[in-house]
Chains A and B, each alone.
Chain A
Amino acid sequence: DAGVIQSPRHEVTEMGQEVTLRCKPISGHDYLFWYRQTMMRGLELLIYFNNNVPIDDSGMPEDRFSAKMPNASFSTLKIQPSEPRDSAVYFCASRGRGDTQYFGPGTRLTVL
């Protein structure tokens, strides 16, 4: 079975540009999570969805960040405009029955 798929794996962009990260969860999983990993703050939950509906977005750092889940097999995390402090690794994870979350390989974002 395919695991969680994320694209792109690496993204380099300039400050002020829009960035879109993509995630395909494991088929049949009804929870989807977006995390950010930085050296300073470790792993932080940004937002999670249940059945495509955002449940808790309290971890989204500011209005420049937005996330959508238009259907059960696709989610996006958008940053507009991007800033150098947004540089991090962004992980998507999904969960089905039970409490184990399965992580994708991550997107390493560098904002110059």
Chain B
Amino acid sequence: GDSVTQMEGPVTLSEEACLTINCTYTATGYPSLFWYVQYPGEGLQLLLKATKADDKGSNKGFEATYRKETTSFHLEKGSVQVSDSAVYFCALTAYGNKLVFGAGTILRVKS
């Protein structure tokens, strides 16, 4: 079945450091790929998405590129802030219905 694998956390960075959270997937067909963010005590918010190969999703300084050849969708940000501290989930959906999530990666940013 479809699956998503994320790098394990927690990831601890100093403010203004570069961030990469790795995400790889296994899926039949051509899934859409997502990054969701969950701040403490809140629900999941869509951060960015990409629907086909070579698409780049971007939002709030975060970006990720849909790489079909490596089945990856790594999340990157050039300079993190304390307010970026949250849990980040990579997810896919093949037909727009069942979202398959990775385990989540905790990001902690220190000032």
Contacts and interface: CB of A to CB of B under 8 A. Distances in A.
B18 interface: no
B96 A91 contact: no
A103 B96 contact: no
A20 to B, nearest CB: 19
B11 to A, nearest CB: 17
B49 A103 contact: no
Interface in B77-111: 89, 93, 95-99, 101-104
A54 interface: no
A84 B40 CA distance: 23
Interface in A92-110: 93, 95, 98-106
Q: How large is the interface on A (under 10, 10 to 19, 20 to 34, 35 or more residues)?
A: 20 to 34
Given A42-B103, A100-B34, A48 B98 contact: yes
Nearest to A50: B97
A12 interface: no
A103 B51 contact: no
A91 B89 CA distance: 15
Contacts, number: 49
B104 A42 contact: yes
A104 B42 CA distance: 9
Contact of A98 (B44, B89, B96): B96
A63 B49 CA distance: 35
B97 A42 contact: no
Given A99-B32, A103-B44, A104-B43, A43 B97 contact: no
Interface string B45-65: 110010100000000000000
B98 A105 contact: no
A31 B104 contact: no
Looking at B42, B44, B89, the one whose CB has the most chain A CB atoms below 10 A away is B44
Interface of B: 32, 34, 36, 42-46, 49, 51, 89, 93, 95-99, 101-104
What are the nearest 7 A-B pairs in CB distance?
Answer: A99-B96, A43-B101, A103-B44, A105-B43, A103-B43, A99-B32, A106-B43
